[in-house]
Amino acid sequence: MIHFTSDYTEGAAPEILAALSEINLHQYSGYGTDPLCEEAKKLISYEIESENADIHFFVGGTQCNMTFIAASLRPHEAVVAVDTGHIAVHETGAVESTGHKVLTIPAADGKMRLEDLEMIYNLHRDEHMVKPRLIYLSQTTELGTVYQQKELNQIADFAHNHGMLLYIDGARLGSALTAEKSDCTLAHLAKVADAFSIGGTKNGMLFGEALVIVNDALKPDFRYFIKQKGGLLAKGWLLGLQFQVMFRDGLYYRLAEHANEQSRKIYAVLEECRIPMFAEAVSNQLFPIFPWSFIMELAQNFSFEIIEKIGADKAVIRLVTSWATADHDVEILCTWLRKFQVE
Amino acid sequence: MIHFTSDYTEGAAPEILAALSEINLHQYSGYGTDPLCEEAKKLISYEIESENADIHFFVGGTQCNMTFIAASLRPHEAVVAVDTGHIAVHETGAVESTGHKVLTIPAADGKMRLEDLEMIYNLHRDEHMVKPRLIYLSQTTELGTVYQQKELNQIADFAHNHGMLLYIDGARLGSALTAEKSDCTLAHLAKVADAFSIGGTKNGMLFGEALVIVNDALKPDFRYFIKQKGGLLAKGWLLGLQFQVMFRDGLYYRLAEHANEQSRKIYAVLEECRIPMFAEAVSNQLFPIFPWSFIMELAQNFSFEIIEKIGADKAVIRLVTSWATADHDVEILCTWLRKFQVE
Amino acid sequence: MIHFTSDYTEGAAPEILAALSEINLHQYSGYGTDPLCEEAKKLISYEIESENADIHFFVGGTQCNMTFIAASLRPHEAVVAVDTGHIAVHETGAVESTGHKVLTIPAADGKMRLEDLEMIYNLHRDEHMVKPRLIYLSQTTELGTVYQQKELNQIADFAHNHGMLLYIDGARLGSALTAEKSDCTLAHLAKVADAFSIGGTKNGMLFGEALVIVNDALKPDFRYFIKQKGGLLAKGWLLGLQFQVMFRDGLYYRLAEHANEQSRKIYAVLEECRIPMFAEAVSNQLFPIFPWSFIMELAQNFSFEIIEKIGADKAVIRLVTSWATADHDVEILCTWLRKFQVE
Amino acid sequence: MIHFTSDYTEGAAPEILAALSEINLHQYSGYGTDPLCEEAKKLISYEIESENADIHFFVGGTQCNMTFIAASLRPHEAVVAVDTGHIAVHETGAVESTGHKVLTIPAADGKMRLEDLEMIYNLHRDEHMVKPRLIYLSQTTELGTVYQQKELNQIADFAHNHGMLLYIDGARLGSALTAEKSDCTLAHLAKVADAFSIGGTKNGMLFGEALVIVNDALKPDFRYFIKQKGGLLAKGWLLGLQFQVMFRDGLYYRLAEHANEQSRKIYAVLEECRIPMFAEAVSNQLFPIFPWSFIMELAQNFSFEIIEKIGADKAVIRLVTSWATADHDVEILCTWLRKFQVE
């Protein structure tokens, strides 16, 4: 069985483990107050081309999202997300568990549209309704698509012209930063967003998400929130060390680029076979639509997620490649996909 | 300016004030531990034809809804409501403020459909998503329509066959109980729902909602929840007294019937004038669709809510009658409405 | 049985009921957006000698406290209260239910001491502990004592010099404002506190607490919080009307003064009989210490609370007088108390 | 500078890193649904001598505590802890952030006394106060002392006779299990507690706490709570793997025994020098009391925590040994301590 289920089925890039072994018996002060975290923050500051951001490290994405959101909102304020948004569907109500409503609007190819954002903003006009205050986007989106700089600028402008905040969930940011059709850069994100995360778990780290807080108003006392939500890792240097390895010589980008490349190879075959796609193929997630019978066959040798049924006899599946996806496995998959055409 | 904005624009039925004056200087023990509350609970038990329900009194509906819902759910459990549901839109995220997600599904004429309920239930299948646990309905609905017994039976069966709870928000229950096309009864609600409320504020009380808890599992320690959410009224007998007056000789039904009758008179004219309706006319809320120009004219003499625009030049408005709506005011309105036809 | 249990055992001052009857069938817009509330706010602004405060009305004290506190704090911030404080003991964890810790310090005669406040502030110095942010006092205290202006000035100075807020719970503020040994005034409270409440429920209103928010930073969007916590009364004018009656010609003070006077009469007898007191007798709550046998005897004719046992055979009881306490009832009690001495 | 600050200043036991390297590129399904977690659970079941417990893995202790507590309580229920308890002081109000009050009682040598527990239980008797429902203990305690089986039996009996739950925080459980003066065993904990944790972070794992839920009523849907609070690690097998290494051949006990032994060596010198102790020396934390001048001297070569001042010129410090504390470092410390005596 070969996994195309997700990009977190393996451990970590060998460079990570090597670095870990090297510093293992060194003594560090706890909770992220160590020099490794400091160094990692410097490297990230360099990448985002700003020395004014506050950077914090988390073990996981749900924790990062909920901690930032709960810290940024007053009790009556709500988040706006697309209805496929990770916080809206797949975090077991983590945001609501901190007391805040997540308002949802439809998505086009996984992306938020300005007109829907305007509409939901305008609907919420008095104290009998929550106050939309924070816009939540994912880059890449849940459907593997990527916001272009122009699109982010428009949403950011809307947010800031209406007293709202923009937060970008970068669980798969590496893939967006290195996708062929993308002009996404860390420096641009740091210009438009009030805060965003840089995902490591899905890009070759054992675990780890970096939260970059740009907006000064959201910075004070932030470590209190991390501790309160249970996210302050005792051996915090494990996070610093990994992000250091990722950004000291571009490993983060190389790993993401590998995932994208493997995906492009698979997509080339899908195109060749004229398989319809549920969403545009841009990054390391592909959403082809197959007849149910073929999906059943495929499932005997590959593991992947079935996203949703389309009509009586078709379905969308998700194929995910990662930093660790081997050429050999991609070739086997492509051979199988080509079989489909022949049939 | 004559108000058709809501059913809570006046104080209380004169019988309420008279009763209040009578007992004013009597000494009662606080927080609803008085004989007036006891007596009111007995009267309601008689109406619902069950002596096994626990009954609690609240000052307002949002408080009643949020306290019951927060008390009934574990942290990962969610509410299912229609997207026009009061808790989903007009309670400023009160349910979410207690940590629970409100899942929404579309409504038909304000009512929840079984197929949508099934769909959302089936979508939520693992621990990455919240667990749908409580179905929230309003009777009458936000659009003034009424669930028939058969419809409630189906939803209740679905709930109980799937380990879910059914809660019915009766903020305008009086109108449902006395509507011509309705077979709704308190005894039936007590049979199908795990809990429901009986609204007094919109039916001639100064304030007051009775919460009827039928399901034994939801009864223990309930007074703790009321106190914790700030809902335990110091002079609790004010609630007991008012519900006593409401149910000792059928005043509750008479007041609601008056509201429905005034509404029927207005609807007769709307029908006569062939005004299209946004929702079926059943209870004390009417949703006619008028050209924008006529609405502007009408607004010079009457106050009412504009619900939503329809196309470029029309809109739905809401006309609400109440226990206090005077014949004379209805006549003036009807005269105006007839003018519309003439034009 | 004559009640000295609490100051909320009767309905309302006759002036309140009269006013209520008078406006009963008038139509008002809902949720406190009516002219009666506006007028009441003007009267209170006059009393506090400031036109810059925001004033909101609540049905009850727990609701007022929890809504204000939850609105004022970020998630990691905590309240400091004395260990007898109402929010610390008798509100069923309402503040904690909104996510905030209540830190407690010992009290002297019900009052917070500056040295304890300093100590707890200094103990909380990093992100592994909550951040003390809001000081909660009650005026009168839970033991019926009263903070003098000088004492409040010191605590307010400490608060503001350390980035903290001062909130004063005035559930029994009337009694403090009119106590013989007190220099408390509404204008002074509005000078030192960031916010405070003016209690009506325990001073002759059917229900009602006014929240006075002085600190500009705490004002925005406050009505959202009231709605979210279930505290926005549909027929909001019922609150406005009552506060109008209270403050249009000094009724609030006269009712409180009556309660204090009845208490002084009782205390005169306690002094005469050399009954030891658990706390200084200042306002409408008295805390005499009696032998257990006498308490049992007393309890056959009067109702009151037993506060705590002292040694094997004594206990502190609480005797509360109110705006409605009749001369005749006080005389009967005094006769009984004198019997004690004779024995 | 040699650290005696804490037991989490180094990475992990070499066996952990070796195992990690070995499985690094193997593909596992996410979120703890892998065979490594299954195997680890089996090993722990064997140690606790019960196959009926549910076992879950967490990255950190605060997360484990808050998730379990929030999952186990209804909104009005509170925790009882000693006033030095970790959740009461050092978790930034994490428990309160989930809506629950932490009631505190004094401790003797870090331990809860039955009479204080009884007292606080009896004080909370009606719906105006929270309902004490869960007893929180730490083993070892915050002062390094250890509950004997007899003491735990008494507290567990009290809990279960009064409808309460017993939860034991085992962040430093290894030290308790292997301390000379302790009869603590995993099997006994599984008999008396409703749930307890087995700490790995402070005993040679990179990170990791195992939560053992014994009480059937607390088991359902638990993975939902972990996900909602942000604690479901994507690469969950990292936790399973580490606990497997810990319990497959007794490494967990050997590492803890090492820490205790190093502590005993230091204590022998403290005894020899007649240094007064703030708490009994039992496990891997020592609390000697030194003159301030000597502490200042010591601090030039060793890092440790200063716990609290005693009088004008003394203070309690905390010396912590760990699985990684080298003999050589202990010897250097002992030499310094002996110097103290000489002076």
* Mean pLDDT of the residues in chain C: 96
Assess contact for B77 and B69: CB atoms under 8 A.
no
Chain A residues whose CB is inside 8 A of the B100 CB are 93, 96
Whether C188 shows a pLDDT value over 80: the answer reads yes
Give the dihedral sign, CA D234/D236/D238/D239: positive
pLDDT digits (tens, 9 = 90+) for D119-175: 999 999 899 999 999 999 999 999 999 999 999 999 999 999 999 999 999 999 999
Chain B residues whose CB is inside 8 A of the A93 CB are 76, 78, 99-101, 130
CA proximity to B57, closest of B79, B39, B72, B73: B39
Q: What is the mean pLDDT of residues D193-205?
A: 98
Chain D residues whose CB is inside 8 A of the B98 CB are 75, 99
Whether D67 shows a pLDDT value over 70: the answer reads yes
A130 reaches B (C-beta below 8 A): yes
Which pair of tokens denotes residue B296? 């502007």
Chain A residues whose CB is inside 8 A of the C225 CB are 75-76
D125 reaches B (C-beta below 8 A): no
Claim: this prediction has a pTM higher than 0.95 = yes
Q: Chain B neighbours among D 149-208 (CB < 8 Å)?
A: none
Residue whose token pair is 């009832």: C329
Name residues whose C-beta falls within 8 Å of residue D122's C-beta, 6 or more positions apart in sequence.
none
Q: How far is CA A319 from CA A5, A276, A341, B238, in A?
A: 6, 14, 18, 63
**How many Å apart are CA A153 and CA A157, to the nearest integer?**
6
The pLDDT, as a whole number, for residue D84 is 95
pLDDT bin (cut points 50, 70, 90) of residue D339 is confident
Whether B343 shows a pLDDT value over 80: the answer reads no
Whether A160 shows a pLDDT value over 90: the answer reads yes
pLDDT digits (tens, 9 = 90+) for B127-161: 999 999 999 999 999 999 999 999 999 999 999 99
ipTM of the modeled complex = 0.96
Assess contact for D211 and D56: CB atoms under 8 A.
yes
pLDDT digits (tens, 9 = 90+) for D200-242: 999 999 999 999 999 999 999 999 999 999 999 999 999 999 9
**How many Å apart are CA B91 and CA A129, to the nearest integer?**
6
pLDDT bin (cut points 50, 70, 90) of residue C176 is very high
Q: What is the mean pLDDT of residues D10-33?
A: 96
Helical residues (DSSP H) of chain B, grouped into ranges: 14-23, 35-48, 61-72, 86-89, 94-97, 114-123, 149-161, 173-178, 186-192, 222-228, 237-247, 251-272, 292-298, 327-342
Assess contact for C229 and C63: CB atoms under 8 A.
yes
CA distance C219 to chain D (A): 24
pLDDT digits (tens, 9 = 90+) for C126-165: 999 999 999 999 999 999 999 999 999 999 999 999 999 9
B60 reaches C (C-beta below 8 A): yes
C97 reaches D (C-beta below 8 A): yes
Whether C36 shows a pLDDT value over 90: the answer reads yes
**How many Å apart are CA D1 and CA B213, to the nearest integer?**
65
Helical residues (DSSP H) of chain D, grouped into ranges: 14-23, 35-48, 61-72, 86-89, 94-97, 114-123, 149-161, 173-178, 186-192, 222-228, 237-247, 251-272, 292-298, 327-342
**How many Å apart are CA A130 and CA A136, to the nearest integer?**
16
Chain C neighbours (≥3 Cβ pairs under 8 A) are A, B, D
Q: What is the mean pLDDT of residues C276-297?
A: 96
Nearest CA in chain B to A131: B92
Percent of chain B with pLDDT over 90: 97
At residue C10's C-alpha, the angle toward residues C5 and C15, to 5°, is 140
Residue type, D149: Q
**How many Å apart are CA A139 and CA B17, to the nearest integer?**
61
Q: What is the mean pLDDT of residues C263-276?
A: 96
Chain D neighbours (≥3 Cβ pairs under 8 A) are A, B, C
Q: What is the mean pLDDT of residues D236-257?
A: 98
The pLDDT, as a whole number, for residue A343 is 57
Which pair of tokens denotes residue B105? 């599904």
Whether D343 shows a pLDDT value over 60: the answer reads no
Nearest CA in chain C to B63: C230
List the single residue in D76, D89, D127 with the smallest CB-CB distance to C129.
D89
Whether C59 shows a pLDDT value over 80: the answer reads yes
Chain C residues whose CB is inside 8 A of the A227 CB are 127-128
Whether B340 shows a pLDDT value over 80: the answer reads no
Whether C342 shows a pLDDT value over 70: the answer reads no
Beta bridge partners of B54: B213
D309 reaches C (C-beta below 8 A): no
CA distance D127 to chain C (A): 7
pLDDT bin (cut points 50, 70, 90) of residue D95 is very high
The pLDDT, as a whole number, for residue B317 is 97
Whether D340 shows a pLDDT value over 80: the answer reads no
Is A91 exposed, middle or buried (CB count within 10 Å of its CB: 0-12, 13-18, 19+)? buried
